[in-house]
Amino acid sequence: GAVVSQHPSWVICKSGTSVKIECRSLDFQATTMFWYRQFPKQSLMLMATSNEGSKATYEQGVEKDKFLINHASLTLSTLTVTSAHPEDSSFYICSATLTGATIAYNEQFFGPGTRLTVL
Amino acid sequence: AQSVTQLDSQVPVFEEAPVELRCNYSSSVSVYLFWYVQYPNQGLQLLLKYLSGSTLVKGINGFEAEFNKSQTSFHLRKPSVHISDTAEYFCAVSERTGGFKTIFGAGTRLFVKA
Residue B54 has pLDDT above 60, yes or no: yes
Burial (CB < 10 A; 0-12, 13-18, 19+), residue A61, is exposed
Residues of A in contact with B36 (CB under 8 A): 110
Closest C-alpha to B105, from B10, B20, B25: B25
- Which pLDDT value is given to residue A77? 94
Q: Contact A36/A94 with Cβ under 8 angstroms?
A: yes
**How is B45-82 classified by DSSP, letter by letter?**
EEEEEE-SS-SEEE-GGG-EEEEETTTTEEEEEESS--
Alpha-carbon span A7 to A26, nearest angstrom: 12
Span A82-107, average pLDDT = 80
Q: Which residue has the higher pLDDT, B3 or B41?
A: B3
- Number of alpha carbons in the 13 Å side-chain half-sphere of residue A111: 32
Q: Which residue has the higher pLDDT, B20 or B27?
A: B20
Interchain contact, B51 vs A93, CB within 8 Å: no
> Which of B30, B102, B111 should we substitute to test contact with A (largest number of A Cβ atoms within 10 Å)?
B102
Closest C-alpha to A97, from A22, A1, A29, A48: A29
Looking at chain B, the whole-number percentage of residues with pLDDT higher than 90 is 72
Q: Which residue has the higher pLDDT, A102 or A65?
A: A65
Q: Is the dihedral of CA A76, B34, B86, B84 positive or negative?
A: negative
Residue A105 has pLDDT above 70, yes or no: no
Q: How confident is the model at residue A101 (pLDDT cuts 50, 70, 90)?
A: very low
**How is A15-82 classified by DSSP, letter by letter?**
TT--EEEEEEESSS--SEEEEEEE-TTS-EEEEEEEETTSPPEEPTT--TTTEEEEEEETTEEEEEE-
- Which pLDDT value is given to residue B95? 78
A24 bridge partner residues? A5, A76
Alpha-carbon span B65 to B56, nearest angstrom: 6
A109 bridge partner residues? A96
Closest A-chain CA to B50: A105
- Which pLDDT value is given to residue A1? 64
Instruction: Return mean pLDDT, chain A.
Output: 89
> Which of A11, A35, A51, A105 should we substitute to test contact with B (largest number of B Cβ atoms within 10 Å)?
A105
Q: Is the dihedral of CA B102, A33, A27, A10 positive or negative?
A: negative
Looking at chain A, the whole-number percentage of residues with pLDDT higher than 70 is 92
Which residues, numbered 23 to 62 in chain B, qualify as contacts with chain A under a Cβ-Cβ cut-off of 8 Å? 32, 34, 36, 41-46, 49, 51
B49 bridge partner residues? B34
Is the minimum CB–CB distance between A21 and chain B shorter than 8 Å? no
Q: In angstroms, how far is CA B76 from the centroid of its own chain? A: 5
Residue A99 has pLDDT above 70, yes or no: no
- Which pLDDT value is given to residue B99? 59
Q: How confident is the model at residue B1 (pLDDT cuts 50, 70, 90)?
A: confident
Q: Which residue has the higher pLDDT, B22 or B32?
A: B22
Amino acid at A80: T
Region of poorest pLDDT, from A14-23, A59-68, B39-48, B104-113: B39-48
Instruction: Return mean pLDDT, chain B.
Output: 91
CB atoms within 10 A of CB B78: 22
Q: What is the DSSP letter of A106?
A: -
